[in-house]
Chain A
C-alpha cells in the first residue's frame, strides 16, 4: 500500500467537489436538526452514536468517530435503531393479567403506574419481611448488573443473577481463575500490532464492531487470520484459513498444540517462570488432604525450588532462582513436583499428540502441528519490542516491553459447552506458553482487568428478613467452604449456583430458575422478576415444557410460581405469561450508565465508561426500569437508598448515579468526579457529572501512560494505580494460575480427602473427581456421554446473524427484510447422501423432543454439524408481527430440543438425581452439546414449522401494525434534470 495520505475530496477532487457543491440545493435544513450523543443498545457492544433528531423523530443514527469502542462505524443493528424506536410492539402502559383469566392466555388490563407499584411494593415488602429468598430477580442481556445486583443485595435475596450463566460464564470464569482477564470485555487482541490472529468459536456478532475494525486492521497489515469454527459464515468468510472443527472438541485442539510446542521446546520460559505458577511446587501425597495443593511456607507463600540454594523458597520473593522442572523433597519429607513438570507430563502424553487430536476434532494432524508451529514462529521469530521504561512488581526497571504478537479471541462456541470452562483454560494455557498475555501484539487486558486470580469476593450465603446481604449475591469461590449450600450440603440458591452441582457458578444459572421454582427444588418461591429476558421463548432451554411449567398449578389451584413480573419494552412471548408487566423505555428514551463497576467498555490503552441520555421523549406511559428500581428501593426502605428518617434519599436514577458511592470516591461513573469535576476515576461526587458526560459526547476515557500499558499483571505502577482507583483491593502481582489449586480443592472434596465440607451425593463426588482437573483437559461433553452417537449423529448448534442480536431486533422492519426465516443449515454432500434436498423439510429430533424445519444445504459446514440462526423464530402474534409472519410459521427454535436437564444415564433407575445440562464446574448452560438425528418430513408436512403455538392476542391499546411504512423526517428535496440537459444529451 502507498503511504500517501489519501481521502475523498483530497487534491484535485477537492476543488471540483466544492464547485459542484455550490450548484446543489440545501438537502437538509440543519437549523431544524439537533445532534445528540449517546450509547447504542441494539446489541451489547455499546458503541457511541450520534443521533440526529428532526421534528422529534430520528433523522439518522451514525457511529461517533471519537468513541473508543466503534471509532465511527456502526453495524446493521445500530443502523436500524429508527425501526426499533418505531416498532409497533412497544409496550405502552403497565399491564395486569385480567382477573379470572389464565396465565399465558394474554388477557391483560392496563393499570396506572401508581397502582402497579403500590401493589408490587406490598408484595415485595411482605417477602422481604418474611423470607427474602422468595424473591428471585433475574435479568437478561442488560448492562446494569451493578445496579440490579446492588438492588438484590439491599433487598436481601441471594436469588439474583444476570444472563451470564447461559451466555459465556465459562469464558469469564476460566479467564478470571487463570490469567486475571479474558476475552471481549476483559481483553482484546492487540489489533495494532498482532501478526497472527486465531478466532475460536465466534458466532457472527460476538463482538460486533470492535472485531470487524480489528479484522480490517490485521488484514491490511498482512497478519494471518485463522478461524476455528464448524461453520464458515460471518468473520470466518474472510479468514485466511478456516479450521472446520467438530463442536465441543476445541480443548483437544488447543492442548494438542500445547503438545506440539512442548515437544519442540517452543515455550516462553521467562514468561512462564516469572508470571505464572509454573515453578510452584505441588505436593504429591496421594490419599491425603494436601495432595495436589501448592506447597507453602508458614506465611502461606507458595514455594518454588531455588536452584542456587538447593532448597525450597518463597516463590513470591523477588530473585528466587526457581527451577521450572523436577521433583523435590520438602524438609518435612513430603514429595513435590513443579507445576511445569505436571504440565509437561500431562500434555506430552500421547493422548494429546496431533494424530490423536485429529481423530477427536475431525481435522488432520498436519494442520494441528502446522498451526502450532506457525504461531511459534510469530511468537519467537517475529518478536516485537517497544522501548519504554517500566518497573515490575519487585521494583526492577526494564527498558522495553517484549511482545509476542500472537492473539486470540473466543466466545460461545468455546464456552457454551459443558466442557467449556476447561476448554477456555486450555486456550489460556496455549496463550501463556507462547508468552502472549498483556504483551505488545498479544492479548491485552482492558480496565478494570487484570484482576487477581480470582478476585477476592465471595458469594453471599446468609440471609435475614429486612436485611441486606453482607456481600454481593455473586462472587468467586476458592474452596468448598465458599459454596452456597446448607448444613446438609444442599443448594441454597434457587438456581443451585455455587452448589456441588455447579461450584463456580459465578454468573448463576438463569436457565434453571423456572424449572427449579416450579418443582420447588430446592424450595418454592413467591415472585420472579424477569428483566429483558425472553424466558418463555428463545432464552430458555426446553421452551415448550417451560411454558407449561409457567402455567402449572398445585392442588389448591394456585400457580406453582405464584407471581411473575416481566419488565420489557416490547411485546415478547414472555410478556404474555406475566402477571404484572412493567413497560420499559427504549434506549433512545433513557438515562443509563455503562459503568466500570459493571460490564466495562475500556480499551487496552484507556479506562472508559459511558452513559445514555434521552434523545426522544417517550410517547407512552412507560418508565425506565432503572428509575423504577430506584423508586422501589426507596419505597421498600433499602438502607442504601433511604436517609436516617427512612425517606427516599435519591430523587431518581440520575441523582442516585451521581451521589451513590461504592467506596469513598468511587461510583458508577469514573469521569468528572470531584466537586468541580476535576478528578478522574476517583473523587467526591459531582452534581454536574451527567452534564459533563453529555458535553463530552456521552463517554469518558482515561488514557493510561505508556509505561502502564503492558505486563499489567506485574507492572508496579499499574498495580498501584489499579488499587488506588478501586479495581483491585491489593497491589500484589497477579499470578497466572496454569495449575488451579482451587479446582484441586474441589477435587479433593470429591475424593473425600478435603479438610472441610464434602459433597453428600455420589454423583457430585464423581463429577468433582472427573472434571475438576487442576490442569486444563478435554472431556466429551456431558450430553454426548449420555446419548447414543449412532442414533443422534449430528451436532446441532446455533448462532445469530450479524444483522440481528438474539431476538432483540429480529422484529425490526428493516432487519427482517434481510432475514425473516431461519433454516437448518447442513453440509451439502452430507445432506445429499441422506436424500435431503436443498429447501426440503425435515424432522430434527433430540433426546428431548423434535422440531420440523426447512433445510438449506451449504458447503461451509462441518459434515457432522447442523446449525441455525437463533434469532428468528417467533410465537405467532408476538413482537407486533402478523400472525402468519414467516418467523412464526416457518421459523423455529432449536430450544425445544435442548433440555435444561441432562438425559438419564442408560440403565440408571428413576431415583437418579436429575442434573443440570450445564458445565459441571461453572453451571454454564450447555447449549451447544446438543446431538440430533435428521429425517425427511413427508410432503404434507412440508411448508410449516413445528411446533406451532396459539396466536398471541394484541395488548390493550395496541395499534395494528401498519401494512406499509414510508418513514421520513422531512419532505425530500429533489434534484431536477433540466429540459436543456435532456435536449442536449438525449438522442431523441
Chain B
C-alpha cells in the first residue's frame, strides 16, 4: 500500500481545524506527548505535525488567498530516511508511512534539514524527532468504527478538504480524486516523489447572466406593469 493524503485547495479555508485535531490526537498518541513550550508565556510554541501556511497570490484587486496545510508527505524517495545515521527514520514497507523510532532517534536533526517540506519537528523535551504518523494508531485500530479509521485531520476537516487512502489502489478515493481533479505534488522537481497530493482550485463556475426584457423608459415600464395582477 501507499497511504497518504489528498488536500483540496479549492475548499481549504485555512481554519486550522486539522492542525489542532492532529495536536490533540497525537499528544496522547504513539509519539506523544507533543511538548508545548512556553504555553502561557512570551513565545508560545510546540511540537505540531501539521501546520497551515497561507499565501497571497497576485495583487489587489486580483489577489487570491491560498491556504496550504503542510505535514509529512510520506515521500517515496524519503531523503529524511536516507540521511538518518541511526536507522530511526524509516519508511514502512507495508504502507509507505514514514516513521521515527523514538528509541533509536538521537535527535541529531539531520532528517529535518533533509526535509524540504518542514515536516519534522524536534521535541526538545524528549530530544527526539517527531512527525506525522498518518495516525497509524487510528487507521489500524480495529476497535474503532471503520469510518473512523482515518487520520484525525481528515475526520475533523470542516470543509472536507482532506482525504486519506491508498495511492496504490487505482480505485481508492485518493487515486480517483487525483485523477479527476489533476492532483499535484508539492515541489516535485526536488525529486522526493511525495505521496501526498494537492488538488488545485476548481475552474470558476460559468455564471451566465439573464438580461431580462428590453431596457425601456420608465413610463413604458410602468404602463406595462399597470396590468400586472397576482391572485392572492
Q: Is A780 an interface residue (CB 8 A)?
A: no
Contact A4–B171 (Cβ < 8 Å): yes
Interface residues of A in 814-865 (CB under 8 A from B): 814-818, 820, 827-829, 858-861, 863
Task: Kindly state whether residue A533 has any CB partner on chain B within 8 Å.
Answer: no
Of residues 318 through 377 on chain A, the ones whose CB sits less than 8 Å from some CB of chain B are: 318-326, 340, 344, 348, 370, 373-374, 376-377
* A33 and B149 alpha carbons, distance in the complex (Å): 17
Assess the A76–B20 pair: CB atoms within 8 A: yes
The residue in B24, B174, B230 that gathers the most chain A C-beta atoms within 10 A of its C-beta is: B230
Contact indicator B67/A6 (Cβ below 8 Å): no
Q: How far is the CA of A79 from the CA of B222 in the complex (A)?
A: 58
Known: A7-B165, A860-B60. 18 other contacts (CB 8 A): A7-B173, A9-B146, A12-B168, A13-B166, A63-B155, A73-B156, A76-B20, A79-B23, A269-B228, A319-B232, A324-B225, A325-B228, A803-B19, A964-B36, A965-B35, A965-B46, A966-B125, A975-B99
CB contacts under 8 Å to B, within A1-43, are: 1-2, 4, 6-13, 16-18, 20-21, 23-24, 26-28, 30
Give 17 A-B contacts (CB < 8 Å), ordered by A residue: A1-B180, A6-B176, A8-B165, A18-B142, A28-B137, A28-B141, A60-B152, A216-B161, A237-B67, A238-B159, A322-B230, A323-B226, A325-B226, A814-B36, A965-B36, A966-B27, A966-B125
State A802–B17 Cα separation when bound (angstroms). 9
B104 contact set on A, CB distance < 8 A: 977
List chain B residues, Cβ under 8 A from A241: 204
Binding site for A on B (CB under 8 A): 1, 10-17, 19-21, 23-25, 27-46, 48, 54, 56, 58-61, 63-67, 87-88, 90, 93-95, 99, 101-104, 125, 136-137, 139-143, 146-150, 152, 155-161, 163-166, 168-169, 171-174, 176, 180, 201-202, 204-205, 207-213, 215, 218, 221-222, 224-232
Residues of chain A lying within 8 A (CB to CB) of residue B15 = 75-76, 204-205, 208, 212, 234, 802-803
A320 cross-chain contacts in B, Cβ below 8 A: 231-232
Q: Which of B10, B44, B59, B202 has the most CB of A within 10 A?
A: B44
Q: How many residues on chain A are close to B (CB under 8 Å)?
A: 147
In the bound complex, do residue A238 and residue B12 qualify as a contact, i.e. CB atoms below 8 Å apart? yes
Q: How far is the CA of A711 from the CA of B21 in the complex (A)?
A: 40
A961 at the interface (CB under 8 A from B): yes
Please name all residues of chain A whose beta carbon is closer than 8 Å to the beta carbon of B34 when the two chains form the complex. 966
Separation of A513 and B128 alpha carbons in the complex (Å): 55
Indicate whether A59 sits within 8 Å of B169 (C-beta atoms), given known contacts A240-B205, A860-B65.
no
Q: Check A219 for interface membership: any CB of B closer than 8 A.
A: yes
Q: In the assembled complex, how far is the CB of residue B182 from the closest CB belonging to chain A, in whole angstroms?
A: 13
Q: Does A8 lie within 8 Å of B149, measured CB to CB? A: yes
Give the docked Cα–Cα distance between A78 and B232 (Å). 48
Q: Does A519 contact B (CB under 8 A)?
A: no
Given contacts A266-B210, A802-B14, A884-B42, contact A13 B28 (CB under 8 A): no
Give the distance in Å from the alpha carbon of A289 to the alpha carbon of B177 in the complex. 67
Smallest beta-carbon distance B150→chain A, Å: 6
Once the chains bind, are B30 and A975 in contact (CB under 8 Å)?
Answer: yes
Residues on A with C-beta less than 8 A from B60 are 244, 827-829, 859-861, 863
Chain A residues positioned under 8 Å from B21 (CB to CB): 74, 76, 79
A212 CA / B148 CA spacing, docked (Å): 20
> Do A63 and B156 contact each other (CB < 8 Å), given the known contacts A10-B172, A73-B17, A863-B60?
yes
A13–B39 touching, CB < 8 Å: no
**In the docked arrangement, what's the CA distance between A261 and B143, Å?**
58
Contact of B14 among A74, A224, A237 (CB under 8 A): A237
Q: Which residues of B contact A885 (CB under 8 A)?
A: 40-42
A28 near B143: Cβ-Cβ < 8 Å: yes
Contact of B207 among A23, A196, A205, A323 (CB under 8 A): A196
In the assembly, what is the distance between CA of A968 and CA of B82, in Å? 31
Min CB–CB distance B140 → chain A (angstroms): 4
B172-A61 in contact (CB<8A) = no
A220 CB → nearest B CB, Å:
8
| B24, B29, B140, B166: most-surrounded residue (chain A CB, <10 A) | B24
Q: Within 8 Å of chain B (Cβ to Cβ): is A441?
A: no
Contacts of A75 in B (CB 8 A): 15, 17, 156, 158
Contact present for A10 and B36 (CB under 8 Å): no
Question: A95-103, A662-670, A980-988: which lies at the B interface?
Answer: A980-988
Q: In the complex, are the beta carbons of A377 and B95 less than 8 A apart?
A: no
- Closest A residue to B14 by CB, please name it: A237
- Considering the chains assembled together, what is the distance between the CA atoms of A408 and B99 in angstroms? 46
Contact at A377–B173, with CB atoms within 8 Å? no
Query: Contacts A274-B230, A961-B40, A963-B38 known; A859 to B20 CB distance under 8 Å?
Result: no
Q: A339 to chain B: closest CB distance in Å?
A: 12
Within 8 A of B (CB), among A237-279: 237-238, 240-242, 244, 261, 263-266, 269-270, 272-274, 279
Interface contact A322-B28, CB-CB below 8 Å: no
Which residue on A lies nearest to B138, using beta carbons? Answer: A27
Given known contacts A73-B17, A370-B209, A974-B101, is B176 in contact with A4 (CB within 8 Å)?
yes
Q: How far, in Å, is B99 (CB) from chain A's closest CB?
A: 6
A742 part of interface (Cβ distance < 8 Å): no
Please measure, in the bound complex, the distance between the C-alpha atom of A54 and the C-alpha atom of B205, giving whole angstroms: 48
Q: Provided the pairs A209-B158, A219-B11, A977-B101 are in contact, do residues A882 and B42 lie with their beta carbons within 8 angstroms?
A: yes
A813 on interface, CB distance cutoff 8 Å = yes
**B205 and A20 contact, CB distance less than 8 A:** no
Residue A72 CB within 8 A of the other chain? yes
- Interface flag for A62 (CB, 8 Å): yes
| B interface footprint on A394-407 (CB within 8 Å = 1, 0 otherwise) | 00000000000000
Known pairs A27-B141, A966-B33; A373 contacts B211 (CB<8 A): yes
Q: Are A6 and B212 in contact (CB under 8 A)?
A: no
CB atoms of A269 and B230 under 8 A apart: yes
Q: Give chain A residues whose Cβ lies under 8 Å from the Cβ of B215.
A: 263-264
